[in-house]
Chain A
Amino acid sequence: MNVVIQSVFFVMTATGVVFLAATKNVVYATYSLALVLISTAGLYVFLQAELMAVVQILIYAGGIVILMLFGVMMTNRLKGEKLISGSKNTVLSLIISVTVFAAMIYFFSTIPVNNTTLETQDQIAVIGVAFLTDHLVAFELIAFILLVALVGAAYLAKTSSHE
């Protein structure tokens, strides 16, 4: 039964990815990114990463997709017609990405991985303690970077900043 649900999430993710690469419409691409992100959150549950799944839905699917839709709305001439994006260098890009894909597939097929079981008891508590003990410097730095980035984004997007 688990395999069936996992396969459904795999197919959803792969469909969204392929549709995102194939479509020319920016709004459709944003929605297919939302599909990819939500089905990846489902995969995180099967990887015993419940906190990552919640973070993925809250921040990616809830925040970034909305932000992207605002970006589509504010940075295009909206005249009631579809937002079509052109393509360039299609063949060369296809060669590069297929090469990267083949190299990654080869690399991941050579390394041995064992499907172990994570300790899920009090996992979120363990992560929280690790943030404030083992990874304290990185945690403080990331908080500071987030603050600076948000203040900087608000300053850059201010209406009078270019006048």
Chain B
Amino acid sequence: MNELPLTAYFYLASLLFSTGIYVVLVKKNAVFVLLGIELMLNGANLILVAFSKAAPTLNGQIFAIFSVVLTVCEVSIALAILLNIYRKHATSNLDELQEIGNE
């Protein structure tokens, strides 16, 4: 046996996902929260690809590629919104953003 068992990959993906949740909940900076979301999506991709090897079909990899494209959309939109928030309120600290809409 010259390979680690697939269960080890699932454990690593669990670590990625739960650390992503921790980062999203704890950090105050908005860019940090985006990094946490990236970690969670990466853990989900790792699980998809690992199950694709366990199945064995290629469907898991295909869905992982779809998920990567959705991640790119999410990050580009989120950073554009963050840029507008920073232009208007001059902060990227989520706790200082209390009101919404035009005041």
Contacts and interface: CB of A to CB of B under 8 A. Distances in A.
Given A86-B28, A104-B17, 17 more contacts: A21-B22, A30-B31, A33-B39, A43-B9, A46-B3, A64-B71, A71-B31, A71-B34, A71-B79, A74-B86, A85-B32, A86-B29, A89-B26, A96-B22, A113-B51, A150-B76, A157-B80
Contacts of B10: 104, 108, 113
B68 A56 contact: yes
B5 A20 contact: no
Contacts, number: 238
A14 B18 CA distance: 12
B58 A29 contact: no
Interface SS majority for chain B: helix
Interface of A: 1-3, 6-7, 10, 13-14, 17-18, 20-21, 26, 29-30, 33, 36-37, 40, 43-44, 46-49, 51-52, 55-56, 59-60, 63-64, 67-68, 70-72, 74-77, 83, 85-90, 92-94, 96-98, 100-101, 104-105, 108-109, 113-119, 123, 126-127, 130-131, 135, 138, 142, 145-146, 149-150, 152-154, 156-157, 161-162
Interface SS majority for chain A: helix
Given A21-B22, A60-B42, A153-B76, A72 B53 contact: no
User: Closest 5 A-B residue pairs measured CB to CB?
Assistant: A149-B73, A85-B29, A93-B25, A101-B18, A104-B14
